[in-house]
Structure 1
């Protein structure tokens, strides 16, 4: 992998004998402060894996149907 520009600059500063900026970082910079827990049974049961949207299907296979009234009005010219 390629080095980032910032990493190359830090390496150059360290080679020149100056203080490496990585040593000035807080000890908490690398720690993960998030608490993790497993989901409860209720949370697992209530989650939706794939959300369903109300989309109109091109082929009409979305389970809906239409019942229309046939017009019996004819006009003669």
Structure 2
């Protein structure tokens, strides 16, 4: 099993999550359950999928979770 905490991409994505939560605090309350929620969920999904993938035994499974994390990054960017 891999230690996901040692991956720079996981550390960077955790910093991104913190920045995103700070960013959405400035959103109006009308966006609390809309845009803010979507943005924070996609941001949290990035390091979560990296961590989950690191627990997988095969490289193929790990790569699949990295692809999912990438998809969440694209969603966040959009």
Fold conserved between structures, TM > 0.5: no
More helix by share: 2
Higher relative contact order (CA 8 A, sep 6+): 2
Q: Which of 1 and 2 has greater Rg?
A: 1
Q: Give the TM-score of the pair, scaled to structure 2.
A: 0.21
Q: Give the TM-score of the pair, scaled to structure 1.
A: 0.21
